[in-house]
Amino acid sequence: MSEFATEVLGENDPEQTEKEAGKVAGVTEIEEGAPWNAVEDAFLRRRSIRKFKKKQVPAHLIRRMLEVGRFAPSQGNCQPWKMVVVRDRDMIEEMEDFCVASCRKIAGMVDYTVYDKGTFARRKTEMMAKLISRSKPNSMHPVPFAAVSLVAQNRFAVFHHPPTIILPLMDTRGIGHPQIDLGIVGTNIVMAAHSLGLGTCWVGLASFLNESPEWRERLEVEEPYEIIEAISVGYPLGKPMRNTVSRETHETVWLEDGKKELIY
Amino acid sequence: MGLLTKKEMKQTPIVDDANDARYGVVEIDLDKCNGCRICTLICPSNVLELFGEKHNRRARIKEGLVMCLACDNCHAICDRDAISIVSGYDFAGRYKQLGRGAPSQPRLEWGKPAAGGYTGTVPQCPAAPEMDGRHD
């Protein structure tokens, strides 16, 4: 171990290492049941924001978020991303209109919920939905299906009219699973935004933009980059961090001392 | 079309059929709710609405097909703690959720009840019984 590492980590002293780790989060000793520290609390209180104030976010805050994103871990340090920041309100509305139109086209083919049961249109669209669900099980999951249906009926928005949109483009030549790296860089960005009092929302339906040569050109997306997600950024309406939320506990497999336990 | 077998047909749940899809449920305490409207604005599935006379409005779940995702954002933003989820969503067939457990607030210690509805040490996924036959 180098002199520097010994000084920082302590030699063969796991207890010392744990104490040092706690200091990063502002806690000296961590016992079971100790209150959440600032970093944990930030993760527990970050919500997806879908209603923004009109006020534009200062450009320096966006740059600050991108700067935190830049230090995200990636497979083989390949950093398979390129950021596009859209702050032009008219352009954001046009992006919204384009994605709504795309949702309408898809809903026209597969959205059976708008037809009465037993009608021919219902049977036809239901069969189409089931067929596509075989080849695209993730896109045709009932939840995005419902989202597309709601957008097509004007009961839901795609980007939620934010003052700023960040498009983290993915370099398709990334190492291993570049989508994961995109998710990590995006998490850095949204958590930095949260710590600055900003609200963010991941928008998967933004991937419609990737199918359009016109939008790829307008957003400067060239090979080998792809639009796979968008992040809407703005000041949240109300106090969405007032309470924490409930989430399912999930079955966890715990393997220790040759025993297997399922805990929740 | 004849491209899918009968079994494959059953694997894709029909989103507006109660036998195939069960959505999240929220509970609203009408004594605490003051009709401030914020939950109806931020709900990602557009399932909440206001009802009642002017100056005396309350929030409620819309009638008809409501596809609540149990995100609990309404609870997070409510100034008066008047609303929160009671159960999550689930689907029959291909998308049935596995080993989810029951909804719980963040816990500092596992296996102990936490504020906001943690129901036990080993909660069962509250799947609707009529869905079980469709999962294979």
d(CA B70, CA B23): 8
What's chain A's length in residues? 264
The Cα of B94 is separated from the nearest Cα of chain A by a number of Å equal to: 9
Helix, strand or coil for residue A206? helix
A55 touching B (Cβ < 8 Å): no
d(CA B17, CA B9): 14
pLDDT confidence bin for B125, thresholds 50/70/90: very low
How many CB pairs below 8 A link A and B?
Answer: 139
Instruction: Give the start-end residues of each E strand in chain A.
Output: 81-86, 164-171, 199-203, 225-227, 230-234, 247-248, 252-256, 259-263
Cβ-defined contact of B102 to A248 (cutoff 8 Å): yes
ipTM of the complex as predicted: 0.82
B35-64 residues touching A, CB cutoff 8 A: 38, 41-42, 44-46
**Domains in chain B, CATH or no CATH each:** 24-99 (3.30.70.20)
Report which residue type is found at A78: C
pLDDT confidence bin for A248, thresholds 50/70/90: confident
Of B9, B72, B99, which is closest to A130 when you measure between CB atoms?
B9
Region of residue A196 (left: phi > 0; alpha: psi -120 to 50; beta: else): alpha
B122 touching A (Cβ < 8 Å): yes
Model pTM score: 0.86
d(CA B58, CA B52): 6
Of A47, A238, A263, which is closest to B110 when you measure between CB atoms?
A263
What confidence tens digit (pLDDT) does each residue in A149-187 have? Answer: 999 999 899 999 999 999 999 999 999 999 999 999 999
Of B1, B13, B116, which is closest to A142 when you measure between CB atoms?
B13
pLDDT confidence bin for A12, thresholds 50/70/90: low
Q: Of B5, B37, B39, B42, which to mutate for an interface test with A (greatest number of A Cβ within 10 Å)?
A: B42
The Cα of B80 is separated from the nearest Cα of chain A by a number of Å equal to: 10
Identity of the highest mean pLDDT range in A23-27, A65-69, B80-84? A65-69
Which structure tokens are listed for A157?
A: 């928005």
- The whole-angstrom distance between residue A226's C-alpha and the CA centroid of its chain comes to 16
Query: Which pLDDT score is estimated for A250?
Result: 84
Please say if the pLDDT value at position A26 is more than 90: no
Cβ-defined contact of B106 to A44 (cutoff 8 Å): yes
For residues B93 and A245, the model is more confident at A245
Q: What is the 3-state secondary structure (H, E, C) of A47-106?
A: CECCCECCCCCCHHHHHHHHHHHCCCCCHHHCCCEEEEEECCHHHHHHHHHHHHHHHHHH
Cis peptide before A224 (omega within 30 of 0): yes
Q: Of A134, A158, A243, A263, which to mutate for an interface test with B (greatest number of B Cβ within 10 Å)?
A: A243
> CB-based contacts of B51: which residues, under 8 Å, 6+ apart?
B57, B58, B60
Residues B29-33, mean pLDDT to the nearest whole number: 94
For residues B59 and A261, the model is more confident at B59
Among A17-26, A32-41, A108-117, B124-133, the minimum mean pLDDT is found in B124-133
The Cα of B14 is separated from the nearest Cα of chain A by a number of Å equal to: 8
Taking contacts as CB-CB distances below 8 angstroms, the residues of chain B near A36 are 106, 108
- Is residue B14 within 8 Å of residue A129, measured between CB atoms? no
Mean of the per-residue pLDDT values of chain A: 90
Helix, strand or coil for residue B103? strand
Q: In which element (H, E) is residue B132 found?
A: helix B129-132
Residues B45-50, mean pLDDT to the nearest whole number: 92
Which structure tokens are listed for B78?
A: 């409510």
Task: Determine the angle formed by the axes of helices A178-195 and A59-69, rounding to 10 degrees.
Answer: 140
Taking contacts as CB-CB distances below 8 angstroms, the residues of chain A near B98 are 251
Cβ-defined contact of A264 to B101 (cutoff 8 Å): yes
Taking contacts as CB-CB distances below 8 angstroms, the residues of chain A near B49 are none
Of B46, B75, B121, which is closest to A156 when you measure between CB atoms?
B46
d(CA B127, CA B119): 15
d(CA A124, CA B129): 29
Q: Of B5, B10, B12, which to mutate for an interface test with A (greatest number of A Cβ within 10 Å)?
A: B12
- Is residue A84 within 8 Å of residue A221, measured between CB atoms? yes
Q: Of A156, A249, A252, A254, which to mutate for an interface test with B (greatest number of B Cβ within 10 Å)?
A: A249
d(CA B91, CA B73): 21
- Name A164's bridge partners: A233
- Give the single-character DSSP code of B35: -
Taking contacts as CB-CB distances below 8 angstroms, the residues of chain B near A262 are 122
For residues A168 and A15, the model is more confident at A168
d(CA B25, CA B87): 5
Mean of the per-residue pLDDT values of chain B: 79
b vs e for B15-48, b when ≥16 Cβ sit within 10 Å of the residue's Cβ?
bbeeebbbbbebebeeeebebbebbbebbbbbbb
Domain boundaries, chain A: 1-35, 94-152
